[in-house]
Structure 1
Amino acid sequence: MRQPLDSAIFLAAFTGVLYCLSTAHYHGFLTTAKLDADMMERSFHQVIYSGLIVSFGPILIFLITVSCVLFSYSHALLPGYIDWVRGSIKAKRKVVSFRRRWIGKRISALVEIRAKKTFNHFLVLSLAGVCFIVSLVYVEKKGQSQALTALGNHVEGETRSSSNISVVISSNIKVLSYLGCGAKNCAGIEKGSNRVYYFPQSTGFSFVHDVEGVTKP
């Protein structure tokens, strides 16, 4: 009965992390692009998928780094340390002296062991919380950078043809630089006037596909 509960808790926590990361990234993008959060509201599936995409790179780098560190520790540092201790009585004395200096000979009581364990758990959770907050700040800045890049390309006229969309708004065709879509509405910024338009997805839009470099398989 315990294993399904643990799996459910892990899945809920992982989903919550993805949701927070995606929301932080999207918030950074919307605030920098000055888009309305209510108009650009996303569905739950969009939020979770976006969070997975945003966190994939950092998580992969973290896993690779931790794997390299653990491999180096278990296959190089730890065996070398054990061989060093086993091969010399002087080394053993140094290790014992070091342990006595920092740990001491005193045997801790049960209540002390519990208090230390509580502190260790609190320290781990605090460090995890700090890392989580730092990651939220990091992904929010990535969203801000993405918005600045999109607006900069629009101002300098370097927007790709596939990012220029044509939308019928109030019976007029507007050529906009695509900014993004939520669950129901999309947003684009007009060239020249820099006016931002919101339009429902049901209206639809068209764009010129950039087929350069596309070859027939």
Structure 2
Amino acid sequence: MFRRMLDSAVILALLTAFLFCVGTAKTRGFYSHFRLDSDVMDLGFHNVLYAGMIWSIVPVVKALTLLVATSFFYSHMVLPAVIDKLRGSFGFRRTYVKWKKRIYGKRKETSIERSAKKNTIRFFLVTLGLVLFIGFLAGVETEGKRQAEEVLAGGHESDLRKIVVNGDSRVLTFLSCGIRNCAAYDSKSGMIIYFDQAKGFSYFKEIKKGGA
């Protein structure tokens, strides 16, 4: 019982770390393109986790779908075909044994050797997983930069808002909000404008009616 709880705690900790890393990579990619100060634009832990969950859903689902499809193809098509071939063909079975001996050798391994090889395989899988994870984070950060480039190019018309801050009304490109501060981009002057949520602000967003 205790071991199951410990395993669940480890899985939960790894999942939390994964979502936090993904959310941070996405946010950093977007912020770095505008040179936004991450200390000023503090999102908060729960917001970073939510962003990580949103941005990891599609890649994770794609990876799991590919894994399930590959596993199904191997277990239901490739493996039964090979086993049937081994059972029905003596020549194929002899060829299989010959190649197996060439790959694994004829020497009988000791328990220490088998344990060392298993550890090597584990280290390889862990290293491969870390490399893939770092590559995934780099891709997420690149996606954040790409979205920032779209904002600069005017690709997100829904981000154009008439923001009222301390009585001053201007049409700005809304970028992001943190726990205390928000940021907007003035395309005319090229300036990044921070404003405090505590002082209050409002914005007007035109909603186009269908058929209008």
Instruction: Provide the TM-score with structure 1 as the length reference.
Output: 0.91
- Cα contact 1:166–1:174 (8 A) shared by 2: yes
Residue 211 (structure 1) shift = 3.8
Deviation at 1:101, TM superposition (A): 1.1
- Write the distance in 2 (CA, Å) between the matches of 1:161 and 1:69: 40
CA pair 187-10 structure 1, distance change in 2 beyond 3 A: same
Contact 1:161 1:207 in 2 (8 A): no
Measured in 2, the distance between the counterparts of 1:180 and 1:42 equals 9
Aligned to 1:43: 44
Partner of 2:57: 56
Give CA deviations for 1:166-216 in whole Å, capped at 9, x if unaligned: 1224x42232110111111111112421221111223122122424339xx
> Residues 16-46 of structure 1: CA distance to partner in whole angstroms, max 9, x if unpaired?
0110111111111111012111111111110
Q: Bigger CA drift: 204-213 or 116-125?
A: 204-213
Match of 2:5 in 1: 4
Closer, same or farther in 2 for the Cα pair 1:162/1:115, shift >3 Å?
closer
Q: What's 1:78 paired with?
A: 79
After superposition, residues 54-133 of structure 1 pair within 5 angstroms as: 54-133=55-134
CA distance in 1, matches of 2:119, 2:158: 58
AA paired with 2:160?
Answer: S
* Residue 197 (1) aligns with residue 193 (2): yes
Q: Which moved more, 1:160-169 or 1:47-56?
A: 160-169
**Mean CA deviation greater in 160-169 or 93-102:** 160-169
Q: Is the 8 A contact 1:33 1:151 kept in 2?
A: no
1:186 aligns with 2:182: yes
The 5 A counterparts of 1:126-165 are 126-153=127-154, 159-160=156-157, 163-165=160-162
Read off the aligned partner of 2:195 and give its amino acid letter: F
1:60-118 CA deviation, whole Å, 9 max, x = no partner?
11011111111111111111111111111111111111111111221111211111111
Q: Secondary structure at the match of 1:166?
A: strand
Q: Distance in 2 between matches of 1:111 and 1:65?
A: 36
Q: Distance in 1 between matches of 2:27 and 2:179?
A: 13
Alpha-carbon separation, structure 2, partners of 1:174 and 1:133: 40
Which residue identity is paired with 2:168? N
| TM-score after normalising by structure 2 | 0.93
Q: In structure 1, what is the equivalent of residue 19 of structure 2?
A: 18
Equivalent-residue separation in structure 2 for 1:161 and 1:100 (angstroms): 64
Residue in structure 1 matched with residue 165 of structure 2 by the alignment: 168
RMSD between aligned residues: 1.6
- Count the aligned residue pairs: 209
Larger mean CA deviation between 71-80 and 194-203 belongs to 194-203
Q: Is the 8 A contact 2:159 2:175 kept in 1?
A: no
With 31-40 and 136-145 compared, the bigger mean Cα shift is at 31-40
In the superposition, relative to structure 1, how do residues 145 and 161 fare at CA in structure 2: closer, same or farther (>3 Å)? closer
SS at match of 1:27: helix
The one-letter code sitting in structure 2 at the alignment partner of 1:42 is L
